[in-house]
Structures are given as structure tokens and as C-alpha cells.
Structure 1
């Protein structure tokens, strides 16, 4: 019986370890699958960001100013240049033209610089927005990963608790079996006339039965004794 009890406990422990290994494997696969989905989603989002940024740069490049909104001073210089040319004052007109050209170039460079600064600002805004989207994705993934971790811990705790309940119930059953066996052995010691009947059932002799057997024994002894006396007398 004790050997059977040990085997039952061993089988329960083995079943628990197998279930624990199986559940850990399932949770590992679930976490691995989730991580794969996060990576794929992040890669797709990154590709979308790169494409959107490239499209923005191409669009802005086509809008690079080739002329500026000329200042009133520059327009005035151009009118003077034209007037001097019409008056035949070509030398003076040439000097005004050179001054106006330098002014025009400066204003064009300023317009380009302002445009590029605006592009940089818009590009930075796009990058910040894209980074925010990526951060939201990663934060959501982190929360889900933490939920998976908590669910896994809770599931394994429940599995462990079920095992403890099984072992406690098994111990109680085995303890009861040992108790009944001890009681049976005590009865056998206290009642030495207990025998084994058909089918493995124990048969106990009643006091009347034992008295009957004793009476038979005494009668047999008396008969044997009487026979001896008759023989001696005859002799």
C-alpha cells in the first residue's frame, strides 16, 4: 500500500510538471507571436514614415523659389535703371543695374533661406508626429506585454494551486486508507480467531462456535480416556 501511495504521489507530481511545461510553452509561443506582430507593425509604420517624409521633401523641392517678392527699394532701382537707359545715360544705368542685381540676388537668397527654414520646421513637425506615433505603438505594445506577463503569472499560480489541492486531497485519501488499515490490523490482533473466508472475506468465530469446538475437544479426550480404562480392566 505504501508503495502504491508513493507511485500515486509520483504520478501527480509528474502530471503537474508536464502541465507546467506545456503551459509555459504556450505562453512563450504567445509572447513570441506578439513580439513578432509588434516588430512587423513597427516596420510597416517606419516604412510609411519614410515614404511620407520623402514625398514631403520632393514636394518642397519643387516649390523652391526661383524669384522673390521684390522689395519696394529694388523695384524703385529697376525703374531708375529703365529711365536712365531711355535717357541714353547708359553708364549710370549700368551702375544702377549692378546695384539692383546685387539687391535682387540678396533678396532671392533671403527668400530661399526663409523657404528652407520653413521646410525644416515643417519637416521637424512631421518627424515629431511620426516619433509620437511610434512611441504610442511601443507604449501600447509594452502595456500588452505586461498584461500577458501578469496573465501568465496568474495562470501558473492557478496551476500551482490546483496541484496543491490535488496533493492535499491525495494525502487525505491516503491517510484515511492507512488509518483504516491500522484499525483492521488492530482488530486482527485483538481477535486472533479471525480467519479468511471465501472470496478473501474475513470470517470471525463467535463465542458460541468456539465453545462448541472446545466441547468437541473435551468429548474426544473423554472418549479416549474411557477406552483406556476398559482395556485395563479387561486385562
Structure 2
């Protein structure tokens, strides 16, 4: 009986270990696939964002101003320049032209600088928006990962609890078997005394009720610490 009980317990433990290993393998695979999916989504979003940024830059480059709204002062100098040229005062006209050209250059540079500042501000806003989109994706991924890990822990805990219940029920069943065996043993010992100590009758009587047992196992079963014993009765009777 002891060997059979030990074998039953070993089988339960082996089944539990196999189930835990398989569940861990499946959960590892789920987490791997989840992580792979997150990486793919992040890479796809990054490609989309790069495309949007490049399109924005191309659009802004095509709209660079090459003829800004000239100032009244510059327009006044151009009029004076043309008037002097028509009057044949070419030296004075050339001097005014030099001043007007300088003013035009400065105004154009100022317009370009203002436009570039506007472009930079818009690009910065676009980048901030894209960064927020990426952070949202990663935050959702972290939440999904945490949820998977939580579900995994709950699943393994249920498996552990189920195993504990099986072990408890098995021990209870084995305990009942030993109690039943001890009751039969006590009864047969009494009959053994009444038969005048016929040892063959005792062995046959016990084996007829517990065919899977042999008389040599009687003492082992009753001596196992986990089971209620009847050693005193057995020793005194034998």
C-alpha cells in the first residue's frame, strides 16, 4: 500500500509539474507575440510619422517667399532711383539704387528669417504631436503587458490551488484506505486469536479483503507518520 500511495503522489506531482511547464511555455509565447506586435506597431507609426514630417518640410520649402511685401521706405527709394535716372542724373540714381538694394536684401532676409521661424515652430508642434502619439502607443502597450502578466499570475495561482486541492483529496483518500485497512487488520487479529493463532488464516483473511496487499506491508502502512496508526493494537495482538 505504501508503494502504491507513493506512486500516486509522484504521479500527481509529475502531472502538476508538466502542467506548470506547459502553461509557462504558453504564457511566454503569448508575451513574446505581444512584444513583437508592439514593436511592429511602433515601427509602423514611426514610418508614418517620418513620412508626414518629410511631406511637411517639402510643402514648407515650396512656399518659401522670394518676393516679400516691401516696405514703404524701400518703395520710396525705388521711385527716387527711377526719377533720377530719367533726369539723367545717373550718379545720384546709382547711389540711391545701392541704398535701395541694401534695404531690399535686408528686408528679404528678414522675411525669410520670419518664415523659417514660423516653419520651425510648426515643425516643433508636429514633432510634439508625434511624440505624444508614440507615448500613447507605448503606454497602452505597457498596460496590455501588465494585464497579461496579471492574468498569467492568476492562471498559475488557480493551477497551484487546484494542485493543492488534488493533493489534499488524495491524502484524505489514502488516509481513509489506511484506516479501513487498520480496521480490517484489527478484526482479523481478533479472529486470529479466536482461531488459536493460525498465522496462515490471518494472512489469507487479510489478503482476501485487500488483494493488493501482502502481509509484509502491514507494519509499513501502519507505521507511516501521515496516517493514523494502530501499532499498539497490532503489536499487542501479534
After TM superposition, the runs of 4+ consecutive aligned structure 1 residues lying more than 2 A away are: 193-197, 199-202
1:200 aligns with 2:208: yes
Aligned Cα RMSD in Å? Answer: 1.5
Q: Secondary structure at the match of 1:131?
A: helix
Query: What is residue 183 of structure 2 aligned with on the other side?
Result: 183
Q: Secondary structure at the match of 1:191?
A: helix
Query: What is residue 27 of structure 2 aligned with on the other side?
Result: 27
What is the CA–CA distance in structure 2 between the aligned matches of 1:155 and 1:33, rounded to whole Å?
A: 18
TM-score by length of 1: 0.83
What is the CA–CA distance in structure 1 between the aligned matches of 2:123 and 2:115, rounded to whole Å?
A: 12
Query: What is residue 75 of structure 2 aligned with on the other side?
Result: 75
What is the CA–CA distance in structure 1 between the aligned matches of 2:164 and 2:131, rounded to whole Å?
A: 49
What is the CA–CA distance in structure 2 between the aligned matches of 1:141 and 1:201, rounded to whole Å?
A: 64
TM-score by length of 2: 0.81
Instruction: Give the direction of change, closer, same or farther, for the CA distance of 1:149–1:5 in structure 2 (3 Å limit).
Output: same
Query: What is residue 219 of structure 2 aligned with on the other side?
Result: none
Structure 1 gap segments, 5+ residues each: 203-235
Q: State the Cα distance separating 1:201 from its structure 2 match.
A: 5.9
What is the CA–CA distance in structure 1 between the aligned matches of 2:131 and 2:30, rounded to whole Å?
A: 27
C-alpha offsets along residues 71-122 of structure 1, whole Å, 9 cap, x if unaligned?
A: 1111111111111111221111111110000000000000111111111111
How many residues were matched structurally?
A: 201
Q: State the Cα distance separating 1:200 from its structure 2 match.
A: 3.3
Query: What is residue 49 of structure 2 aligned with on the other side?
Result: 49
Higher Cα Rg, which structure: 1
Query: What is residue 225 of structure 1 aligned with on the other side?
Result: none
What is the CA–CA distance in structure 1 between the aligned matches of 2:71 and 2:35, rounded to whole Å?
A: 59
Q: State the Cα distance separating 1:189 from its structure 2 match.
A: 1.1
Structure 2 gap segments, 5+ residues each: 196-200, 211-238
Q: Give 1:85-96 correspondences, 5 Å limit.
A: 85-96=85-96
